[in-house]
Amino acid sequence: MKGKLLVLPVLVITHVVFGQESVGERVVNRTKETTIRKTEDKIDEQVDNTLDKIFDGSIFKKKKKKNGDGNASGTKKSSGKQTSGGSTGSDGDDTDFSTYRDFDFVPGEQTLFFEDFSNSSLGSGPTQWTVTGNKGEPAITAIPGSESRWLRTPKEGLSFPNAFNDFPDNFTMEFDMYADPEEMSEMMSGLKVVIVQKLADRSEYDQWFNGYPQIFLDIHPSGGGGSLNLVAKTEYNGNLTQEEMTLHDSTYRDGWLNGEVNRVSIARNGQSIALYVNETKYIDLPNGLPKPGPYGLVFANNMWGDGTYITNIRVGGGGAVTAKTVNNDITTEKKFISRTIYFDVNSARIKPESWTTLNEIANGIGEMPGNFHIVGHTDSDGADEANLALSIRRAASVKNALVGEFGLDGARLTTDGKGEAEPVESNETIAGKAQNRRVEFIQQ
């Protein structure tokens, strides 16, 4: 106790000092600190090059206005370069998949809901969302180093999409999250993802006193060293008797990438719930939701500090992509369509969390005869010519990954792109755009 009392004044002073900085300044400062810390652990040519970019300002230069297809999470520094035989010169060959090779999260094949806040204006509230709370006005904002738009959630309150409130029994959910851990109190919460019995009016949900069947997952980074506390609580036990139970409460050193965009993934399969942060599975609860649904979605906060930021929220259903589903679709339709190969914004660089999808596709194609034509498609954001070129480069990146990372014969694969020319849904909605951003594998 004595040690804690001595530390408290320092924490208070730190909070006051950082309170004078803008979000952008804190992001830059944290990123520099993170980079410096990493160089102490791993000094090599690649990190030296990264440091050179930081010191000459090239990493944090102002981003250009979005001018092309927006498929992706917020940008994130790559830690290495993938080499692949038969490279077509795509700008997507620098993905390092090494940390994701044990990643077993596979997104649901069907997009049930998608939100990137691209239809909301910067500085305004989110379109088609309900946000409650009286501490820290929520708003759509930008973060240096990311071309995405972000919802800054209220410090104390609720956030939920009006258009989605019906989880199936089996689903996946993914989103990008940013938070400044040094501005967050260890004594309060982080971002709570609440899977709660479907309510007629979610704005009346009480995050402190609630007897509804639910599970909430509290994602709580704190401190300057990448510490991450994860909590899972439920209101019903395995006997379907109402009883608040803590199912998981652990703190992980280096579980959070300070100053960077982190990827959160959640999977429900019947009663089981699993949660991943970046490439690591931290929570795996076989009986996380013992009571049958239907269930809906609420984000909740009760925190100090700057707030939490979320974007690129995707709910997937219809079963996960597997080699068998790839094989079945090609057998019946002569092609397989993927919407879970993720790219950086306006780039052909594949995001590393796409590894599991690519692995299943590689296994499925590898079992089938003949050659395959890989075709990229974009939404309608940006100029036609730019989207066409981008779709061609993305298809080439996928081929290079299948050859270099998964060992497929490059002679069996050809590539092309259609840009925005062949939409399958309207580009007037965020959901429609998400459907149009896809990669097709056509058997020849």
pLDDT (tens digit, 9 = 90+) per residue, 67-123? 445 554 443 333 333 333 333 445 656 899 999 999 999 999 999 999 999 999 999
Task: List pLDDT tens digits, range 223-248.
Answer: 878 899 999 998 776 666 777 889 99
- Tokens found for residue 202: 């979610």
Which amino acid makes up residue 411?
A
Contact in structure between 408 and 98 (CB atoms under 8 Å): no
Task: Give the tens place of pLDDT for each residue, 12-45.
Answer: 333 333 333 444 444 444 444 444 444 444 434 4
Question: Pick the residue with more confidence: 202 or 184?
Answer: 202
C-alpha dihedral over 282, 288, 289, 290, to 10 degrees? 160
- Residue predicted with more confidence, 9 or 146: 146
Q: Hey, what domains does the chain have and what are their CATH numbers?
A: 2-55 (no CATH), 108-319 (2.60.120.200), 323-443 (3.30.1330.60)
The answer to whether the beta carbons of residues 365 and 335 sit under 8 Å apart is no
Q: In the structure, what pLDDT confidence band is assigned to residue 5 with cuts at 50, 70 and 90? A: very low
Res 91: pLDDT: 63
| pLDDT, tens digit, 9 for 90 and up, residues 304-337 | 777 799 999 999 998 889 999 999 999 999 999 9
Name the more confident of 208 and 404: 404
* Residue 399: per-residue pLDDT: 98
Residue with tokens 């040519």: 45
pTM of the model: 0.78
pLDDT band, very low/low/confident/very high, at 130 (cuts 50, 70, 90): very high
Percent of the chain with pLDDT over 90: 62
Q: Do the bridges between strand 413-419 and strand 372-377 make them parallel or antiparallel, or are there none, so unpaired?
A: parallel
pLDDT grade for 384, boundaries at 50, 70 and 90? very high
Is the Cβ–Cβ distance between 224 and 137 less than 8 Å? no
pLDDT score of 375 more than 90: yes
Mean per-residue pLDDT over the chain, rounded:
82
**pLDDT value at position 237?**
67
Residue 4 has pLDDT above 80, yes or no: no
Q: Which two tokens stand for residue 401?
A: 């990954």
